[in-house]
Amino acid sequence: MKIFLDTANLEDLKKAVDWQMIDGATTNPTLMAREAGKKFEKMAKAICALVPGPVSLEGVGLTAAELVKEGKKLAAIAKNVVFKVPMTVEGLKAVRSLKKLGIKTNV
């Protein structure tokens, strides 16, 4: 079993990492906006540096092309990024393209 903390709060993540309670973290656009405002990329980098395991960063694009573009950008932030894709037809198309690019996904 793996445990992922669903938050973008750095204090909560630090505690969980220090206590060795989590294997990774998941976020979503709402959590990121609440904690980082318009500084999404800065917050994403901070989370990825803090959490040693996978960090899911979610896309907001509606088309496969938009999601692939976002996935490339977010995957470049850190090696432990997993791009979180919505379970839609366009999301599934994007997953296929992202896999070919070597980008890890979470659906």
**How far is the C-alpha of 64 from the C-alpha of 78, rounded, in Å?**
22
Rg (CA), the chain: 13
Answer whether 55's CB lies under 8 Å from 29's CB.
no
Strand, helix or coil at 22? Answer: coil
42 is annotated as an active-site residue = no
Residue in 2, 39, 69, 84 annotated catalytic: 84
Catalytic residue ranges: 84
